[in-house]
Amino acid sequence: MISKEAVLAALSKVEEPELHQDLVSLNMVQNLQIEDGKVNFDIVLTTPACPLKGKIEAEARQAVLSVPGVKEVNIRFDAYVRNDGHARGLMEIPVKNAVAVASGKGGVGKTTVAVNLAVALAQSGARIGLLDADIYGPNVPRMMGVDRLPPIQGEKIKPAEAYGVKVMSIGFLVPPGKALIWRGPMLHSAIRQFLGDVDWGLLDYLIIDLPPGTGDAQLSLAQSMPLSGGVIVTLPQAVSLEDASRGIQMFEQLNVPILGVIENMSYLQMPDGTVVDVFGRGGGEILAKQHQAPFLGVIPLEPAVRVGGDEGKPIVLSQPESAAGKALRQIAEHLAAQLSIAAFKRQGGVKIEMVE
């Protein structure tokens, strides 16, 4: 007879690699059943986009197989995204984690990154909202292939939806072709509307595309939203790094944790396989080190990324196996892992409470 205690004792030697605590005390092992020599259980990950699922599975299987009498191990994966607590408490909408994507200057691919991260996370099975707060160039609708909101029914505004992502954009509020000058109080009330009057439903992650730069509008926006953390997108060359550094300082000033730095347009792969570093290389990693922030990865310069943006079909969907598609999916996983770590720390390292 194999006892549940013996199996749990074996699993309590397996560490969750990001949270550095064992699977049992993290409450990640559920529905344990033992029948003859067969052991079945669920592992409830902290995000469906977990980058280390394979490692966790291999180690858990090996641990249980080492229990005398065990002949077969069946592991089913499930995920329960941790509630950051911070975002939920302050926002009127039930969002577990809110992440702002920022850049020190325009044109570095911030919106492209925000859109692809949102879609990649939705593909992994998470419930995602994407809020386009870029008052200077709200490009999210175009990149997501949506151009209007659904008709209003009831009291709340329904967000648009594409590729499993709920989308709300400041562009939906402005008549096409009309630029608006946004002043502080107007921005605040628009954001309050986005967060309070939109029927987002329950979200695991809300990704927010901030305007480029680090001026008053950006500060005011970042301040009016209870963020779990911020991500900075930069080009690899030195001049961009100075701008990106200002972006990091903006978050630091607001006490928003830096979840990571992403280097975009890092290299161009030629048809013959050679690689050209159009804008240099390596700057993103240096910047991350300077600020003791996680480095989430590099995205190559690839024409299909732009085509995906222009046609409203992000590259993680249109060409998921391209180098840029793979890079973006990996970055989404790293970001999800950083959010799990941040929520874990914020909650004081307690086990996963599965309360929506």
* Nearest residue (CB) to ligand ATP, 49 versus 316: 316
Residue 140 interacts with ligand ATP (CB under 6 A)?
no
- Pairing of the two strands 258-269 and 229-234: parallel
Q: Is 110 annotated as a binding residue?
A: yes
Task: Determine if residue 141 is left, alpha or beta; phi over 0 gives left, psi from -120 to 50 gives alpha, anything else beta.
Answer: alpha
Helix (H, G, I), strand (E, B) or coil at 131: strand
Residues 110 and 231: beta-carbon distance below 8 Å? no
Residue window 249-288: x/- pattern of binding to ligand ATP, with contact defined by CB under 6 A? ---------------xx-----------------------
For residue 157, the 8-state DSSP code is B
Residue 215 interacts with ligand ATP (CB under 6 A)?
no
Helix intervals (H) in the chain: 4-11, 53-65, 86-90, 110-123, 140-144, 184-196, 216-223, 238-253, 283-290, 303-311, 315-318, 323-346
Residues numbered 63-102 forming contacts with ligand ATP, rule: CB under 6 A: none
Residue 106 interacts with ligand ATP (CB under 6 A)?
yes
| CB 3, min distance to ligand ATP, A | 53
DSSP secondary structure string, 50-108? -TTHHHHHHHHHHHHHTSTT--EEEEEEEE-PPP-SHHHHHSSS-EEEEEEEEESSTTS
Which of 28, 324, 336, 337 touches ligand ATP (CB under 6 A)? Answer: 324
The phi, psi pair for 271, rounded to 5°, reads -55, -30
Q: Kindly indicate which of the ranges 54-62, 103-111, 150-158, 164-172 contains the residues binding ligand ATP, using the contact rule CB under 6 A.
A: 103-111
Which of 137, 159, 171, 257 touches ligand ATP (CB under 6 A)? Answer: 137
Residues 24 and 57: beta-carbon distance below 8 Å? no
DSSP secondary structure string, 265-305? EEEEE-TTS-EE-BTBSSHHHHHHHHTT--EEEEEEE-HHH
The phi, psi pair for 102, rounded to 5°, reads -130, 165
Q: Kindly indicate which of the ranges 195-203, 272-280, 288-296, 301-309 contains the residues binding ligand ATP, using the contact rule CB under 6 A.
A: 301-309
| CB 247, min distance to ligand ATP, A | 11
The phi, psi pair for 327, rounded to 5°, reads -60, -45
**Cα of 63 vs its chain's centroid, Å:** 31
Residue 111 interacts with ligand ATP (CB under 6 A)?
yes
Residue 107 interacts with ligand ATP (CB under 6 A)?
yes
Q: What angle do CA 143, 296, 251 make, to 5 degrees?
A: 80
Residue 26 interacts with ligand ATP (CB under 6 A)?
no
Q: Is 297 annotated as a binding residue?
A: no
Q: Is 104 annotated as a binding residue?
A: yes
Residue 325 interacts with ligand ATP (CB under 6 A)?
no
Which of 13, 183, 306, 351 touches ligand ATP (CB under 6 A)? Answer: 306
Residues 206 and 198: beta-carbon distance below 8 Å? no
Count of residues that interact with ligand ATP, criterion CB under 6 A: 21
Residue 299 interacts with ligand ATP (CB under 6 A)?
yes
- Pairing of the two strands 229-234 and 203-209: unpaired
Q: Return the structure tokens found at 22.
A: 């064992």
| CB 239, min distance to ligand ATP, A | 15
* Nearest residue (CB) to ligand ATP, 70 versus 144: 144
* Nearest residue (CB) to ligand ATP, 48 versus 297: 297
Residue 110 interacts with ligand ATP (CB under 6 A)?
yes
Residue 234 interacts with ligand ATP (CB under 6 A)?
no
Which of 46, 83, 139, 228 touches ligand ATP (CB under 6 A)? Answer: 139
| CB 293, min distance to ligand ATP, A | 19
Binding-site positions for ATP: 104-111
Binding site for ligand ATP (CB under 6 A): 103, 106-112, 134, 137, 139, 212, 264-265, 299, 301-302, 305-306, 309, 324
